[in-house]
Amino acid sequence: MNSPDYTANLQRVQTWIQDACVEAGRSPDDVELIAVSKTKPVEAIREVYAAGQRAFGENRMQELQRKMEELADLEIEWHFLGNIQTNKLKTICHRVDIIQSVDKVKYLHEIEKRAGAADRTIGVYLQVNISDEPQKGGFDPNALLEIASELPTFDHVRVEGVMAMASLTHDQDMLKEQFQRLHSLFSSLKEMNHPNFAIKTCSMGMSGDLDLAIAEGSTQCRIGSSIFGPRNTLSFDAPSNKTPS
Ligand SMILES: *Cc1c(COP(=O)(O)O)cnc(C)c1O
């Protein structure tokens, strides 16, 4: 099989984001793109990087660790957005830029420890379970603000935003409600006065629901298959081992 034309794919996604911003009456500069490269080879990442993309996302800690090593010569902004495994956190904390999928307070303490050992500060997003599906990770939206207001002060963790995955549905009203929920939490966190908060990112919108996410205030979308091509279904998003938080 021929490899996809990554440059054309990336440009198509950039145009898609711009059009969605214009449609929503927003500035295209307000929405950042994370290229989700999970399961894809480092050669593909190099091509997308050469086409101008700098921020990449991965959802397996070992895969991220391997790719960070193999691509150490590139100035990539690395995002982790999968299940956190405490015992593997230290393998990524020496290099990862943003951990998007923090859904338990204990992970903040773990990241604080590992980032401190590496003498770094790591940005995190709080993942929120807006779809109310127990198999999905994320803080309970009803509990998030109280939990956030009680967080201790950290030296090596900076809370920079919220992240969520909406339901896999075509029901636009349902999606809209979920995105509004996340955006409202984003706005409330922004108002909160905590020394480790620098809230700027509302990460929502994937290949299937990008337009609506942007209409509802997304500041960052995470796009995989529209850039890198379809993933092998065998390696695609193995069932989450998360228990509800
Ligand atoms: C895989 C993944 C994406 C990208 O999904 P696509 O449908 O390929 O665009 C976005 N966010 C997270 C958390 C993912 O795991």
What pLDDT does 243 receive?
41
What pLDDT does 2 receive?
72
Q: What are phi and psi of 2, to 5 degrees?
A: -65, 145
User: Residues near 223 by Cβ (< 8 Å), separated by ≥ 6?
Assistant: 13, 33, 34, 35, 36, 206, 207, 210
What pLDDT does 238 receive?
44
Residues touching ligand 1 (Cβ under 6 Å) are 36, 38, 59, 81, 165, 206-208, 222-226
- Please, what are the averages of pLDDT over each run of 10 residues along the chain (245 residues)? 88 97 96 98 98 98 98 98 95 97 98 98 98 90 98 98 96 97 98 97 95 98 96 56 41
Tokens of 111: 């990241």
Centroid of ligand 1 to alpha carbon of 7 (angstroms): 19
Q: Choose the residue to mutate in 32, 81, 226 for probing ligand 1, maximizing ligand atoms within 8 Å of C-beta.
A: 81
What pLDDT does 3 receive?
81
Instruction: Quote the pTM value.
Output: 0.94
